[in-house]
Amino acid sequence: MKTRVVVIDDHLSIRQMLERIFAFDSLYELVGHSGSGPEGLELCLDLKPRVAIVDLLLPGMNGVELLRALRTAGPETRVLIYSGTLNQSLVASALDAKPHGFVHKEDSLSTLLEALRTVARGGSYLTPFATALAEREEPNTSPVMQLSARERMVLQLVAEGCSSKEIAGRLGISVKTVEHHRTGLMQKLNVHDIASLTRLAVREGLVNND
């Protein structure tokens, strides 16, 4: 029986590349793919793949939060992070969340496939590039590290341009609670407007600035 895989990456080219590879592979079956964090999480919970290949910079819910959610709600799915970010604090946060594997997009495609084999068999695989990137500076110096998981989600959605009503709908909370989180974020991060929150989120790797 083929190993069931889901790919969650906001770049369509990456999803299509992996889809073509798996189409001719006797070991793996791509059962679904998504370009956003919330949709990717839903796919994993519905399809229960053996492995989810997850980017870190995802709209709606970044890869770290998705990993943490799967650890709780979908522990049968093993997570292989596959990201091109060079943001040290984001990589460190991802490694702190204990993925089953981490391959940087600077690594070769053969490295990704080797990591996939290892993770699918129940092992762990971290490439030297990823671990070296995480250790390049002192860890946990990012101001975002002081935020709760919910606050990080609100910060990401604010930076993506979502209104308070949209954020409330996505997270299943009231608009008043969203506004409370906004105020708390500005106080904790010592910023005073949405533009500054957005710049900080981009700098800390919570959203993609492509």
Checking if the pLDDT of 137 tops 80, the result is: no
Q: Where in the chain is the domain with CATH 3.40.50.2300?
A: 3-134
pLDDT by residue (tens digit) across 33-72?
999 999 999 999 999 999 999 999 999 999 999 999 999 9
**Residue percentage of the chain with pLDDT more than 90:** 53
CA distance 87 to 43: 27
Pick from 107, 86, 114: which is nearest to 27 by CA? 114
Which residues face 149 on adjacent strands?
Answer: none
Using pLDDT thresholds of 50, 70 and 90, give the confidence band for residue 124.
very high
Checking if the pLDDT of 195 tops 90, the result is: no
What confidence score (pLDDT) does residue 136 get?
A: 65
CATH topology of domain 143-203: Arc Repressor Mutant, subunit A (1.10.10)
Using pLDDT thresholds of 50, 70 and 90, give the confidence band for residue 8.
very high
Checking if the pLDDT of 93 tops 70, the result is: yes
Checking if the pLDDT of 170 tops 90, the result is: no
What confidence score (pLDDT) does residue 46 get?
A: 97
Confidence (pTM): 0.80
pLDDT by residue (tens digit) across 77-91?
999 999 998 888 788
The answer to whether 185 and 155 have CB atoms below 8 angstroms apart is: yes
The dihedrals phi and psi of 207, each to the nearest 5 degrees, come to: -135, 155
Is 210 strand, coil or helix?
Answer: coil
What confidence score (pLDDT) does residue 138 get?
A: 52
In 35-77, beta strands by DSSP E? 51-54
Mean pLDDT (whole number) for 180-209: 84
Q: Where in the chain is the domain with CATH 1.10.10.10?
A: 143-203
Helical pair 175-189 and 149-159, crossing angle rounded to 10 deg: 90
**What CATH number belongs to 3-134?**
3.40.50.2300
In the chain, beta strands by DSSP E? 3-8, 28-34, 51-54, 78-83, 101-104, 125-126
